């Protein structure tokens, strides 16, 4: 059986093991630049033993942020990003930058720039209509992804993860519900997949062979009329045939309409309502039950969907969702997945992997209460960790649950 803790190849790089820290919004960049708090966050995760940690979220354009406090990839961000990757490398781990454009999930009011969507939509975040990019602007967005990947390489990252999930811009193009275009980027599944394929190929051309290139792909949106598993399987097959990606990380859910499909576990509606500003709090109390749905937690809760991708594809796949102990990691390896990705369990215990390596029966202390979700307003953390800094940077964020 594949050893989870043995070195593993991911495209042109080698990781010290098969465990990746998943991209989870950190809330530690109040000036849209790397801070010491963000560096400490990833250094701690790297010291805890992961093979690679993923920085979320590095927007490819200023309007591609979920709010103006997030990093966007430009020269001004380079020194801080380099300091971050140096810190991660010093702990023996690799570093990946999650790049993408938030699209419909962007807050135009915060960014002071239009949010983008494949078709005409009204933004509940920016409280204004979204802009629909034409084909020339789509080409510019493809180039922006390639340029962001080049900057990630200059910053010392070992990999980039392209965000094709959660109804961010690329994911929204894949959705039949959100993409009602009549040009060659809408209509058929092949047309709706054109944008993501062009992005993947452009990024690979920009850094392929030097950095690993992965993508986070929705297996399904979890909303009526959205992307389904059969269509996502076809998209994944096209991405595999294009040969631009070194691995796919499989995810699910919509930051716009159904974020709990990714998380599973408790839905912290009351806690979210408490931290929202007045008008948003009232609206959330009215729609919160429909927005934060109930999905009981179980280990490897996305595995059943992901198995279908493993059967159909030969490219490396990363299993996400409910990976908290060695038994589940070994199950993923037996099922043919090359890597696993962990999120909340490492928020609770950044050193969990070290503990598992010394005690194979070790169990995560994470209870899947999801109270870390409302903490995005003050720097994402497990609220039960006693060693968390009380002076974490306070970062205003829009009213949306963001499983990056």
Confirm whether 185 is a catalytic residue.
Answer: no
Dihedral in degrees, nearest 10, Cα atoms 368, 374, 378, 380: 30
Give the CA-trace dihedral at 229, 232, 234, 236, to 10 degrees. -130
The C-alpha atoms of residue 156 and residue 380 are separated, in whole angstroms, by 24
How far, in Å, CA of 214 to CA of 152, rounded?
13
Cα dist from 309 to 78, 217, 313, 328, 375, whole Å = 36, 11, 6, 18, 33
**Could you say which of 168, 185, 297, 301 is catalytic?**
168
Look up residue 392 and give its DSSP letter: P
How far apart CA 132 and CA 137 sit, in angstroms, is 9
Residue 169 falls in which region: left (phi positive, over 0), alpha (psi -120 to 50) or beta: alpha
Helix (H) or strand (E) holding 285: helix 278-291
Just list the catalytic residues: 168
């Amino acid at each position: 059986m594949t050893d989870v803790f043995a070195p593993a190849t991911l495209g042109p790089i080698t990781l010290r093991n098969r465990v990746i820290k998943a991209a989870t919004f950190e809330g530690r960049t109040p000036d849209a630049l790397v801070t010491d708090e963000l560096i400490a966050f990833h250094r701690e995760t790297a010291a805890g033993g992961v093979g690679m940690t993923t920085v979320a979220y590095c927007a490819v354009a200023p309007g591609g942020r979920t709010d103006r406090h997030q990093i966007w990839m430009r020269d001004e961000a380079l020194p801080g990003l380099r300091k971050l990757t140096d810190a991660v490398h010093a702990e023996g781990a690799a570093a990946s930058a999650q790049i993408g454009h938030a699209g419909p999930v962007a807050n135009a009011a915060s960014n002071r720039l239009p949010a983008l969507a494949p078709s005409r939509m009204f933004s509940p975040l920016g409280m204004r209509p979204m802009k629909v990019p034409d084909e020339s602007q789509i080409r510019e967005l493809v180039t922006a992804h390639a340029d962001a990947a080049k900057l990630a390489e200059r910053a010392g990252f070992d990999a980039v993860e392209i965000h094709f999930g959660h109804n961010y811009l690329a994911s929204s193009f894949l959705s039949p519900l959100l993409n009602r275009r009549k040009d060659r980027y809408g209509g058929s599944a092949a047309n709706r997949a054109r944008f993501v394929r062009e992005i993947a190929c452009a990024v690979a051309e920009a850094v392929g062979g030097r950095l690993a290139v992965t993508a986070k792909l929705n297996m399904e949106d979890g909303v009526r009329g959205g992307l389904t598993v059969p269509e996502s399987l076809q998209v994944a097959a096209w991405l595999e045939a294009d040969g631009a990606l070194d691995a796919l990380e499989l995810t699910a859910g919509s930051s716009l309409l159904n974020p709990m499909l990714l998380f599973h576990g408790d839905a912290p509606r009351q806690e979210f309502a408490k931290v929202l500003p007045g008008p948003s709090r009232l609206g959330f109390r009215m729609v919160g039950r429909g927005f934060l749905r109930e999905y009981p937690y179980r280990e490897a809760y996305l595995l059943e969907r992901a198995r279908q991708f493993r059967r159909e594809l030969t490219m490396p796949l990363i299993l996400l969702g409910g990976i908290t102990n060695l038994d589940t990691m070994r199950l993923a390896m037996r099922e043919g997945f090359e890597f696993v990705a962990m999120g909340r369990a490492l928020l609770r215990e950044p050193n969990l992997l070290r503990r598992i390596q010394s005690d194979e029966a070790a169990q995560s202390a994470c209870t899947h209460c999801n109270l870390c979700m409302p903490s995005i307003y003050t720097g994402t953390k497990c609220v039960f960790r006693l060693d968390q800094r009380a002076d974490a940077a306070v970062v205003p964020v829009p009213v949306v649950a963001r499983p990056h």
